Structure 1
Amino acid sequence: MSETSKPVEKLTVEDAAQELARLAAEIAEHDRRYHGEDAPTISDAEYDALRIRNAEIEAQFPDLVRQDSPTGSVGAPPAEGFAKVRHAVPMLSLAKAYTDQDVVDFLERAKRFFERDKDFDIAFTAEPKIDGLSASLRYENGVFVQGATRGDGTVGEDITANLKTIADIPHRLKGSGWPEAIEIRGEVYMTYAEFQALKERSAAMGGQDYVNPRNTAAGSLRQKDPAVTASRNLKFFAYAWGYTTEDPAPTQYDSVQKFAEWGFKISPLMVRAKSVDELIAQYKLIEAQRSSLGYDIDGVVYKVDQLELQRRWGFVTGEPRWAIAHKFPAEQATTRVRKIDIQVGRTGTLAPVARLDPVTVGGVTVVNVTLHNEDYIKGLDSNGQPIREGNDIRIGDTVVIQRAGDVIPQIVSVVIDKRPPEAEPYQFPHTCPICGSPATREVNEKTGKEDSRRRCTGELICPAQAVEALRHFVSRGAMDIEGLGAENIDLFFNAGLLKTAADVFRLKDRRAEVQQALFERREAQAREREAAKGTARKKVLSAEERTYEGLDKLFAAIDARREPELDRFIFALGIRHIGDTTAALLARTFSTVEEFIRVGKETAAAEDPHTVFPSINGIGDTVIGALIDFFGNERNDAVLDELLEQVHPKPYVVNISAGSTVAGKTVVFTGSLEKMSRGEAKAMAERLGAKVAGSVSAKTDLVVAGPGAGSKLKQAAELGIEVIDEDQWFERIGQGN
């Protein structure tokens, strides 16, 4: 049993220290993705479980509490590109309740704390917990002067101009009686209707797809152009305040009612209550109305109503004692599996997808759910053990699905009682549904076990793999060609304009055909919209409407990538098991694309690849095997030759011989870098022969700190590690002014 699965009471001191280190790193990464990038990768419930385990271990081993403990952290550091705002009063997170008993315990703690006030009835408020982006709005003499995101709870991003585009946020307070200065706090959100309208507008223009209202609202609020924010029709609920020169009212409830008088929208579901029964009754009422509200909520917040008692009860690290968020369980729904389709990915993986009767879960209409692989369909894990009630999944089955947080829906169980008599176990295909090539499950030579995924062996002759490979080739982490997203790749591929990566750089030579393909898609989408409205398409687009305004910009973006960095080029090739980090290792080792290809081909031809391929720390047999497969396939030779006629990857230069002062050193970048992105900083240091680490340790040689550097700076001081700022970094590497 690993320390990650051991009960806390069975952890040794060594286990606990390792587990706290793992949890600190994992929670920090999820905070960054959720608050900094608006792109969570786990559910709220999974995230909360990580924090609960961390808190339990810290309580059991108080001497092991880390300086970077998640217990005291809120949110994530402010994103680059916006001015920073320091909150006069921190924007804290809330403790969580998951059961009715947790709510009972919360009220019992309150009663015990205020036990001496025996003749004083403690009241509480209950209101929906809106799932959006927290914002703080500063008003001086009734005028809105500054708005900021939560950020890390202490420092946020200045998004004043964007907030001013939201109709629910008054530029000047109404009525009278407002304090000389006050920071109104609340949640910016997007309604389901507006989210769906945005998705339709974006699809009609061939733009990006949007995942969910919460992330879309957050991304909309962080736009550099306020006009983009204004077009998204965001909403705002006010529910709290930070700094104020005087209390709006003596109680939480009456203060929020004041906000309504001043021109803010407040939740109509906020109530005042005095007992557990009343609070839980309101929780159940709100939960019952959840799907009909038109916007996302993920729980109910309870607060001590009297402000005097809030102040007396005070705070615990990162959280007020006088408030708690009662979270909703993962929302579930029942639907039917209409069919199972097989999609083929970039590396040939056959990915099964269940097509469902449409059902609304968590405010989102779900019609598809991934089935992962054929073992999953059979209801088995990698060890052949059952993973769900009801075991296998069949076409026609009634299934229970859930969306925990904002993650992809999953099947929880199969309702066996409703299984049709004619339903047969699903037969996973052994040939590719796209090209007809055999689809096989590889065997791991070390373990002797079959891989859980079945893959098409057609490679470049398989259209599905070709499309996915092209999508990967132009993606942000690879060649990063702006304007050539998944929809345009699909369009140009189906129109015969793209077959291989080299064709991307020949699109400009086929301008008229590219423009015609874009026009035909726009016209088809217009007809679909008219048909959906029940009206006929009255006219074709005019000659002016047929012109795709972004065409010159697209061609310019393509031309700008004709001399890519070698590591990006290697990653863009889409070789199995070679991610961006491994691509950088290969680029650093071989320096030029010619040397990379030469060694790759010689390795593929050798009886013993280890006699040819150099020993590289971080690259093992799995990667070497993938290179052998790639360079040993003659069909890839022609593709590479054509591509290299169009692009000329720049040599990967490591300036060790040029007197690099950081060669061989381990460098940590922390804080908000102002002259370069974090990715640029890492690439720069690696090209100078340095190793970039994500955390400070005794092995760290140098810390480069920008504004807002926190615990890493303190660790560096304790370990006696040299710390410099960004300007000093450029001077150190010989690029100072």
Structure 2
Amino acid sequence: MTTVEKKIASLREELREHNYKYYVLDQPTISDYEFDMKLEELQKLEADHPEFYDEASPTIRVGGEVTKNFETVAHEHRMYSLDNSYSKQDLEDWEKRIQRILGDVNVEFTCELKYDGASISLTYEEGKLVRAVTRGDGFQGDDVTANIKTIKSVPLQLKGNYPPKFDIRGEIILTLEGFAKMNQDRIEAGEDPYMNPRNTASGSLKLQDSALVAQRPLECLLYSIVGNGLEISSQFEVLEKARSWGFKVPTVAKLCKTTEEVMQFADYWEIKRHDLPYETDGVVVKVNNIQQQEELGYTAKSPRWAMAYKFKAEQVSTLLNEITYQVGRTGAITPVANLEPVLLAGTTVKRASLHNADQIAKLDVRVGDTVFVEKGGEIIPKIIAVDFTKRSLDSKPTRYIENCPECGTELIRKTGEAQHFCPNDTGCPPQITGRIQHFISRKAMDIEGMGSETVELLFKEGLISNYADLYTLTKERVVPLERMAEKSAENLVNGVAASKSIPFERVLFALGIRYVGETVAKKLAKAYKNIDALMAATHEELVAVDEIGDRIADSVVNFFSEPSNVELVERLKTYGLQFSLSEAQLENQTDTLKGQTFVVSGVFESISRNELKKRIEDNGGKVASSVSSKTTFLVAGDNMGPSKRTKAEHLGVPIISEEEFLKML
């Protein structure tokens, strides 16, 4: 190693250590000036000797890389959302559900503060940061690596003994002090201040110039590690390991043995959170034991082993000026409260959901009332009560509309339904455009060059009346439209053409069948392989598919019993959309385990638990979380939960090893 190379390596190591002490430990040992001088020296040496380039060098943090388009990247390990709880009773009910699955075993909980920021997943290989991806929809997000590298509390090179590859999850936040300073600078420059730290932090991640991101006082607080073969046995150990590798992990986490201790932790921080340097809106409670987490598994949206306990929501009172009614793509009518603008939880609120007629009647909400508005676990604010002391004497009860506000059709309300519906699904404009807007959305067909306003314009001009019409559009027909330049028209038509390669499960989701979301669409695509088989499926056959209940089955059958829907599908087929699983998807799938239900428990040697479950589903089987009379086999690994074995033996359910299971395939 040459003298120059040694000097560069020495400066990098020294600056990394000072950076760690300042931004992670908050214990600086040199002045800012001394740090800047050393950084400047390193920058000059690196500029003079580009052959010693290192992607983990501290000089990377100054930014300068410009990203025009953020690449969409699939998460190797899905990022789930958390179920919310608002009371001790909710937590106790959750604990009972856990115990029913795990049986009579000791369960401990790790409690951490729920940081109010922008979720991020960082991938490290051989100790170096290689990728940073936003949460997105949980399955995929945007690659914002260049911007994340400018955040000083994100290590570019890890310390100590770390796994060769893993993902670590956390929140990108702005401290309250840093946010206040940013706003002070904006006001002095004659610009409008930002509304709240969370949205500002989230928006920072999508700035095109990373040098601008570097100027913002962003921090990254980490809390979760995922990967294969990590050899970590508990969530509390996750936090300790992450801290030792150089990540900024708050030290307020606590190990609790009972939900009583969990509530003590939550009650304490509900008061003390105002002393923290950043915003937090609750406590995340996780089953501490990783093996128990794997036992518990996941629902379609959330881990069964974690729960978010939300602090009491902020409330304000304001005037209700008007009640209007929105028509959704399914014809559902949603009443909306139009409010006198009021500041709530850092944002100006002008509208709030009233949900349905029953909610209006229950609260006795009337135009002209002073109402209490809350922003709790939901993103959309809601009215929770009326201040009856301020109601005028001539106030009149709200009379729910009887006809569709858009097409005038008489509304219906089916037995057991909370909402009123407009049955004019083929002639009601918001339903027509709503279905097309759903079809083109990012999680569905992801048609670039087209947004909601463009759909409205195309419909208004008579160019489309359903989503199949999109595939008849040409540049010549689109160019004459208002605000549509030749390049925009070309991008739109090309975006439509590109969508023909979207896989079957997303096309199925795009059709807009009621109750068929992303997860259900994947289940149905995997079960039926192609659209023709699904269209021919009976109610009884559909409910036999994992996680498909009566409501979804009825909806699917009803959708394909409508000749207009069948006609749309047939048209889409002729345009070349994907209506069957690809050969690659079909390659590893069989019906070998069709009709059989498996419960998987314990630790396995030759295959991971998740891979084992995937093999079951790929071969037509169903995976359940607990043993019942419907269980066909219990696949047992090492350290299997004793309650599962006991129950299987009691019910006469065969218990097989991983070797016996693999032989079945």
Query: What is the TM-score normalised by the length of structure 1?
Result: 0.49
Q: Partner letter of residue 500 of structure 2?
A: R
The match for 2:173 is 189
The match for 1:273 is none
1:236 paired to 2:218: yes
The match for 1:366 is 349
Query: Within 1, Cα distance between the matches of 2:354 and 2:544?
Result: 36
The match for 1:617 is 544
Structure 1 residue 65 displacement after superposition: 3.2
Structure 1 residue 186 displacement after superposition: 10
2:86 to 45, 67, 86: 45
1:164 to 149, 161, 179: 149
Query: Within 1, Cα distance between the matches of 2:634 and 2:438?
Result: 35
Structure 1 residue 502 displacement after superposition: 1.2
For 1:681-730, what per-residue CA distance to the aligned partner results, in whole angstroms no more than 9, with x for missing partners?
999975x542252647695869899xxx9999x999x9654279xxx99x
Residue 472 of structure 1: SS of its match in structure 2? helix
Structure 1 residue 145 displacement after superposition: 7.5
The match for 2:572 is 643
Residue 339 of structure 2: SS of its match in structure 1? strand
1:336 paired to 2:319: yes
The match for 1:411 is 383
1:377 paired to 2:360: yes
Q: How does 1:463-542 map to 2 (within 5 A)?
A: 463-481=429-447, 484-494=450-460, 496-510=462-476, 512-513=478-479, 517-518=483-484
Structure 1 residue 402 displacement after superposition: 1.3
Query: Within 1, Cα distance between the matches of 2:635 and 2:209?
Result: 39
Query: Within 2, Cα distance between the matches of 1:355 and 1:241?
Result: 39
CA contact (8 A) 1:563 1:650 kept: no
Q: How does 1:258-657 map to 2 (within 5 A)?
A: 287=274, 296-298=279-281, 329-379=312-362, 391-405=363-377, 407-443=379-415, 451-481=417-447, 484-494=450-460, 496-510=462-476, 512-513=478-479, 517-518=483-484, 547-548=487-488, 555-562=493-500, 566-579=504-517, 592-594=530-532, 599=536, 617-618=544-545, 622=551, 626=555, 629-630=558-559, 633=562, 635-636=564-565, 639-651=568-580
Q: Partner letter of residue 511 of structure 2?
A: L
Query: Within 1, Cα distance between the matches of 2:579 and 2:98?
Result: 49
Sort the Cα spacing of 1:393 and 1:41 in 2 relative to 1 into closer, same or farther, 3 A.
Answer: farther
Query: Within 2, Cα distance between the matches of 1:408 and 1:331?
Result: 13
For 1:336-370, what per-residue CA distance to the aligned partner results, in whole angstroms no more than 9, with x for missing partners?
11111111112111111111111222222222111
2:623 to 693, 713, 717: 693
For 1:522-575, what per-residue CA distance to the aligned partner results, in whole angstroms no more than 9, with x for missing partners?
xxxxxxxxxxxxxxxxxxxxxxxx844xx7665444324336655544443323
CA contact (8 A) 1:332 1:402 kept: yes
Query: Within 2, Cα distance between the matches of 1:576 and 1:568?
Result: 14
Structure 1 range deviating more: 402-411 or 634-643: 634-643
Sort the Cα spacing of 1:658 and 1:336 in 2 relative to 1 into closer, same or farther, 3 A.
Answer: closer
Sort the Cα spacing of 1:467 and 1:685 in 2 relative to 1 into closer, same or farther, 3 A.
Answer: farther
Structure 1 range deviating more: 582-591 or 334-343: 582-591
Sort the Cα spacing of 1:680 and 1:720 in 2 relative to 1 into closer, same or farther, 3 A.
Answer: closer
What's the RMSD between the two structures over aligned residues? 6.6
CA contact (8 A) 1:135 1:187 kept: yes
For 1:566-585, what per-residue CA distance to the aligned partner results, in whole angstroms no more than 9, with x for missing partners?
55444433233445566567
The match for 1:675 is none
For 1:22-75, what per-residue CA distance to the aligned partner results, in whole angstroms no more than 9, with x for missing partners?
xxxxxxxxxxx9x96485564x636x7644555699999997237xx5x445xx
Structure 1 residue 215 displacement after superposition: 7.7
Query: Within 1, Cα distance between the matches of 2:625 and 2:613?
Result: 13
For 1:186-240, what per-residue CA distance to the aligned partner results, in whole angstroms no more than 9, with x for missing partners?
9731489999x9xxxxxxxxxxxxx99648846976x8x9967965975335999
1:132 paired to 2:114: no
Structure 2: gaps of 5 or more residues: 1-74, 135-140, 163-168, 183-194, 225-247, 251-266, 290-307, 603-608, 649-654
The match for 2:54 is none
Q: Partner letter of residue 409 of structure 2?
A: S
Structure 1 residue 469 displacement after superposition: 1.0
CA contact (8 A) 2:503 2:582 kept: no
1:65 paired to 2:105: yes
Query: Within 2, Cα distance between the matches of 1:584 and 1:145?
Result: 34
Structure 1 residue 425 displacement after superposition: 1.3
CA contact (8 A) 1:190 1:233 kept: no
The match for 1:722 is 658
The match for 1:385 is none
Sort the Cα spacing of 1:400 and 1:147 in 2 relative to 1 into closer, same or farther, 3 A.
Answer: farther
Residue 433 of structure 1: SS of its match in structure 2? coil
Structure 1 residue 471 displacement after superposition: 2.3
Structure 1 residue 614 displacement after superposition: 6.3
Structure 1 residue 493 displacement after superposition: 3.6
Query: What is the TM-score normalised by the length of structure 2?
Result: 0.54
Matched residues, percent identical? Answer: 29
